Amino acid sequence: MGAMPEEVEPIVAKLDNLKETVYAANTYYEGFYKGQEVVVAYSKIGKVFATLTATILIEKFACEKLLFSGVAGAISDDLQIGDLIIASGLCQHDLDITAFSHPFGYVPEGEVCIATDESLREIAKKVAEEKGLTLKEGIIATGDQFVANPERKEWIGTTFNADALEMEGASVAVVCTALNVPFFILRAISDSADMDAGFDFDAFLESSAKISADFILSMVDTIER
Ligand code: ADE
C-alpha cells in the first residue's frame, strides 16, 4: 500500500497477470511478484483515506499482511534525503484530547504508539544487510498535516520521540492492529519537514518513493508463502 501514485507505480510495474478492480473510488491492482500473490493500492493522502484503503485491502481482498511503502519528512538529524526508515511504532501527532488530561496522541481504549510486526521488521533488516543498505528503525509520527515548519517538527520529535513524520502510517497501524493483520511501514526520506520541505518534496518524491518501493519488492520476494 502507498498513499500516492508515485509510491505504488514502481511496484505495479513489476507485477504479472495484473487485474485492476475499482472499488470505493480507488483502484486495486491484483497480481503476482515472483510467484507471490499481492494486492497493491494507493489510498490518496491522509489518515481517513489510508484507513479506508487498509480496511478494504484486508476485508475485501483478504490480505494477510500489509506492507506500506512511501516517503516521509525527516525529524532525526541522522536521516538525509533518500535514506530508509522502518517504523518500530506509529503515533498520531495531531490527536489531541489533552483538555481531558490525556497525553497527546491518546484516546481511551487506544494507545499512543502502536508497534509494528517484529518478524516483518526482521525480514527488512535481513534484506538491508543483503543489499548493503542502511536502515534506520524508529518511531514515525502521522498526522493530517504536511509539516514544513521547524517548530512543529521539533515539537513532534520531542513529544513522541519520533524520527520521521508522514500522513498515513498510524492509520494503517490502527486498522491492522484491530483486525489482527501483521503490518510494516517503510519510508524513504523526501524532505526534512522544514522551510524547504515543499520544494524538496516535489524534487525528491519520485526518487525516494522508488527507493522505498524497490526495497518492498525485495521484501516480498523474501517473505515465505
Ligand atoms: N511526507 C513526506 N514529507 C512530509 C512532510 N514534511 N509532512 C508530512 N508528510 C510528509
**Is 7 a residue of the active site?**
yes
**Upper half-sphere CA count for residue 139 (Cβ side, 13 Å):** 15
* Ligand 1 mutation target, pool 71, 81, 208, most atoms within 8 A of CB: 71
Domain for residue 60, yes or no?
no
CATH of the domain at 163: 3.40.50.1580
- Count of domains in the chain? 1
Q: How confident is the model at residue 224 (pLDDT cuts 50, 70, 90)?
A: confident
Q: Please report which helix (H) or strand (E) contains residue 33, including its range.
A: strand 26-33
| 15 Cα to the center of ligand 1, angstroms | 28
**Is 30 a residue of the active site?**
no
Q: Which pLDDT score is estimated for 62?
A: 98
pTM: 0.97
Ligand 1 atom nearest to 167, measured from its CA: 9
Domain for residue 18, yes or no?
no
| 189 Cα to the center of ligand 1, angstroms | 9
Active-site annotation holder among 6, 7, 9, 117: 7
Q: Which domain holds residue 124?
A: 65-222
Domain for residue 19, yes or no?
no
Residues 82-108 as b or e (16 or more Cβ within 10 Å = b)? ebbbbbbbbbbbebeeeeeeeebbbee
Shortest-distance Cα residue to atom 8 of ligand 1: 146
Which position has the grid cell 511496484? Answer: 11
Domain for residue 133, yes or no?
yes
Question: In the 8-state DSSP scheme, what is residue 2?
Answer: B
Q: What is the mean pLDDT of the chain?
A: 98
Q: Which amino acid is at 148?
A: A
Domain for residue 38, yes or no?
no
Q: Which pLDDT score is estimated for 110?
A: 97
Domain for residue 117, yes or no?
yes
Q: Please report which helix (H) or strand (E) contains residue 88, including its range.
A: strand 84-92
pLDDT tens track for 104-160? 999 999 999 999 999 999 999 999 999 999 999 999 999 999 999 999 999 999 999
